[in-house]
Amino acid sequence: MTRRLTAILATLTISACLAGCGRARFPAYYTLHVPPAVDVPIAGGTRSSLAVLEFRSPAYLHQGAIVYRTSPEQVGFYQYHRWAVDPREFLTNAMIDRLRASGRFAEVRAYDGRSDVDFVLSGRLEKLEEVDYEDGVRVEVALSAQLTDPRSGKMVWANAASESERLEKRNVPAVVAEMSQAMDHAIQKLLASITVSTTSSLNPSLQK
C-alpha cells in the first residue's frame, strides 16, 4: 500500500512539473519612445546653465511592471509586461534632450551634485498608467516640475502638465505606444510653460 501511494504521489509530482513546464511564460519588455528633439540655435543673450535632477515618482510606477487601474482606488500590474528602462530615467533623459535642443539655455546637463549652475530642474512623474473605468479605456500621463535658483534656494518656476490618450486597440504594445505619445505631449506642454529669464549666468567668462 505504501509503495502504491508513493508511486501515485511521484506520478502526480511529475505530471505537475510537466504541466507547469508546458505553461512556462516569460516577461515581455517595453520602453517608451518620443521623437528626438530638433535642435534650435541658442538665442542671442542666452548665457544661463541648467542641471536636471532625476525625476521622482510614486513607488508603484517604478517597480518594473506596467500599471493599469480598474477604479480610482485599485492599482493592477501586468505581471508579464514590464519596463526595460525605468520610466523615471527615461523621462529625465528626455527632458535633458529637449532642453538642450530648445536653445533656451547655454548648457544643460544631468545634475551631479554641484551647484555651479544657474538653475536646477527637479520634477515628478505623477501618472503613467492605463485607465479602465468611466469613459472607456485610455492612458494617462501626468508630470510636474520646478526650477530652483541654487544660490538662493528660491523656486523661480513651477508647473504641471497632463495628457490622456484613448486606446483604439486593447493590447499592451498599443498601451505603450499611446503612453509614449501622451508622454511626448505632456513634456511639450510642460517645457513650453517655462517663463524664467535665461540671460544671466554664474560663469563670468560667458558674460563677456
Side-chain-facing half-sphere of 36: CA atoms under 13 Å: 2
SS3 154: strand
> Model confidence over 69-85: pLDDT tens digits?
999 999 999 999 999 99
Close Cβ partners of 194 (under 8 Å, ≥ 6 residues apart): 104, 147, 157, 159
The mean pLDDT of the chain is 86
**Pairing state between β 119-131 and 138-149:** antiparallel
pLDDT at 179 > cutoff 50: yes
Q: Could you give the CA distance from residue 121 to residue 158 in angstroms, rounded to a whole number? A: 9
* Cell 497632463 found at: 162
CB atoms within 10 A of CB 10: 10
Residues paired with residue 162 on neighbouring β-strands, in sequence order: 142
At residue 42, the pLDDT reads 81
Q: Which amino acid is residue 154, in one-letter code?
A: K
**Residue 159: Cβ-neighbour burial (10 angstroms; 0-12, 13-18, 19+):** middle
> Model confidence over 102-117: pLDDT tens digits?
999 999 999 998 889 9
Domains and CATH numbers, the chain: 27-207 (3.40.50.10610)
Q: What are phi and psi of 195, to 5 degrees?
A: -125, 20
> Model confidence over 192-204: pLDDT tens digits?
999 887 766 654 4
> Model confidence over 17-71: pLDDT tens digits?
444 455 788 999 999 999 999 888 887 777 899 999 999 999 999 999 999 999 9
Q: Could you give the CA distance from residue 185 to residue 50 in angstroms, rounded to a whole number? A: 22
